[in-house]
Amino acid sequence: MSYKPFEWKDLGDISTGRTNLGPEMPVAVYRLFEFTTKDVLTRRYGAETAKEIIRECGFIAGSEFYKNVIQEDNLTFDNFISKLQKAILQYKIGVLRIESADIARKRITLTVAEDIDCSGLDVADEAVCNYDEGFIAGILKCYTGCDWDVLEIDCWATGDRVCRFKAIGR
């Protein structure tokens, strides 16, 4: 089988395929997939490479999410953020808030409460939302056209009650 890059349409027709169960599933099932995938990647390639791969997966997902859920011509930053907040909530990814944004300097600090990746986890010694870092970077790249470094600076898994991300455009 030849390689074909992921596209949104590869998700299939969920409404036809899940006529009884519908499009939603418990967060625990999502986390089972995410955390077991991260476990296998970590054992095979080491923790840093696993994080890079998970981040890259998030980037692809964020890019496709933007193109298929958010994208609209000539969106002002405020309208973009409003639309993004509604979509993140609608898809039950979390509750997005912008703490600060300096678009001219390409600096954004944002939080995600009730994050699908980590809210409710036991406290550990590191932030765990690498997928979210990539997801946010993919969305911001599609909106702005430039690359972004996104780093989680606070996480439920480190004792905070929201995930906080710093995004810096390059």
| pLDDT tens digits, one per residue of 97-122 | 999 999 999 999 999 999 999 999 99
Residue from 132, 168, 156, 141 nearest 67 by CA: 141
| pLDDT tens digits, one per residue of 112-168 | 999 999 999 999 889 999 999 999 999 999 999 999 999 999 999 999 999 999 999
Q: Rounded CA gap, 33 and 16, in Å?
A: 23
Residue 3 lies in a domain: no
Q: Rounded CA gap, 167 and 170, in Å?
A: 10
Domain range spanning residue 97? Answer: 8-169
Residue 71 lies in a domain: yes
* Backbone CA torsion sign across 43, 48, 52, 57: positive
pTM of this structure: 0.95
Residue 95 lies in a domain: yes
CATH no. for residue 78? Answer: 3.30.1380.20
How many structural domains comprise the chain? Answer: 1
Residue 1 lies in a domain: no
